[in-house]
Amino acid sequence: AIDGELRELIFRRLSTAPWLPAADGPDLVPERAHVLADATEELAAVLLDVVPNLVDATLSGARHASALSAVGVHRIGLARLAEMLGGQAREPAWWRRLYDALTPLVVDGVAAEELAALPVPLADGRTVTGPRTTVVGSDASAEVTWVRLVHPDAVSPLLIRLGAREATAAELLSDPALEAALDDLDWDGDEVDGLVSAVLALAGEAGELPGWLGSLPLEDDEGELRSADELLLPGAPLARLLVRDSPFGVLSAASVARFGKRALRAVGVGWGFSVVRDECPTGPDHDLDDEPAWWSSLATEPETLVAVRDLDLVRSGAWAEALTILLDEPSTRAAMTDRDGYTAWWLRRHALIDNQAGSSSR
């Protein structure tokens, strides 16, 4: 009985006296202190002003857990830490240091699940709950707003382990959310420049892109906004082949200087002839000249459509040069070599060489 009473008095004194080593500053009173399970010194240093009265990291392992619990120290797990981090207003680089310091603690699926509510800063300035709804891109994607893009300064391998999706430039530019954003875009609104900049920052490194990016609004040489696929680059060889009332405009020189020809061509601004691609065509609905007649001439519906567009806009006296340009460009040359395809079919019937149609079939 005396031993029990003495033991209780000792624990009471130990719980209320300042003697426990802190992660930073003077010794702590155990019953007011917190210990983060298995914390490293790096993690403790990041969390000093997040977790109050944090115990020194050297005491955070399982070896000391029972003793600390006996004197009233509050033990914090990963799930509780994620809750405490909610609402924190921090720079993205701080979050990156936190994620890197947390990485050694995520040893299994249970630990990953406990961090499901970990806050993540986005490139657009917001902070969201949970890595699973976010996307990790490249440095060029910093201006993306149509997905929950992680701020470049906060990117850490831990976020991928916790469910963030890695996305290439091509994947970001093929995202249905971007298509919806372009459909809903108010061309008179302030958000136009930001969206255009974000798309073209990625377009130069993305490779083949969906045709609907041609609706991206760009400034022509008269200062008006037009869809990218209705514009030609200054000096484009296609311009001298077209009929006088062609619907094409010329892109402003300032846009070329700002974004570069490669990115602009990737979203549909013309230089030579453009190619329409559809992996699963369902009918003659691609806005190609005389397309229904070609479609009805086929024995079976095509599995893939690859067709040169705007052939009907070529001046009658410019076909010799037009065919040269078509053959010089690999994508248009490939469309011409499919004798059952739309391009070869149209040229056999409509292209004029020496005022005769069908000469192109030779």
Please tell me the chain's helix, strand, coil percentages from 3-state DSSP, rounded to the nearest 5.
50, 15, 40
Query: Residue 204 in 3-state DSSP?
Result: coil
pLDDT given for residue 234 in this prediction = 96
Instruction: Look at residue 206 in the predicted model and tell me its pLDDT.
Output: 80
Q: What are phi and psi of 82, to 5 degrees?
A: -60, -40
199 vs 167: CA distance, rounded Å: 14
Read off the tokens for 310: 């705007």
**What is the radius of gyration, based on Cα positions, of the chain?**
32
Structure tokens belonging to residue 202: 């990625």
Return the residue matching tokens 């409509």: 350
With H, G, I as helix, E, B as strand and everything else as coil, classify residue 308: strand
Spatial distance between the Cα atoms of 273 and 355, rounded to a whole number of angstroms: 22
* Burial profile 162-173: b = 16 or more Cβ within 10 angstroms, e = fewer: bebbebebbebb
CB 35 within 8 A of CB 54: yes
**What is d(CA 148, CA 127) in angstroms, rounded to the nearest whole number?**
10
Calculated CA dihedral for residues 219, 224, 229, 231, nearest 10 degrees: -80
> One-letter amino acid identity for 292?
P
**Side chain identity at 348, as an amino acid letter?**
R
Residues whose CB is less than 8 angstroms from the CB of residue 43 and which lie 6 or more positions away in sequence, other chains included: 36, 57, 98, 101, 102, 105
Q: What is the pLDDT of residue 166?
A: 94
Ordered per-residue pLDDT tens for the chain, 362 residues = 889 899 889 988 999 999 999 999 999 999 999 999 999 999 999 999 999 999 999 999 999 999 999 999 999 999 999 999 998 999 999 999 999 999 999 999 999 999 999 999 999 899 999 999 999 998 788 889 999 999 999 999 999 999 999 999 999 999 999 999 999 999 999 999 999 999 999 998 887 788 899 999 999 999 999 999 999 999 999 999 999 999 999 999 999 999 999 999 999 999 999 888 888 899 999 999 999 999 999 999 999 999 999 999 999 889 999 999 999 989 899 999 888 899 999 999 998 776 555 544 44
Model pLDDT, residue 361: 41
Residue 273: how many other CB atoms lie within 10 Å: 22
Its pTM surpasses 0.95: no
Gap between the Cα atoms of 135 and 143, Å rounded: 13
Residue matched to tokens 């690999």:
330
By three-state DSSP, how is residue 179 classified? helix
Report angle CA 54, 42, 92 to the nearest 5 degrees. Answer: 100
CA distance 102 to 331: 49
How many CA atoms lie within 13 Å of 353's alpha carbon, on the beta-carbon side?
13
Q: Contact at 8 Å (CB) between 82 and 114?
A: yes
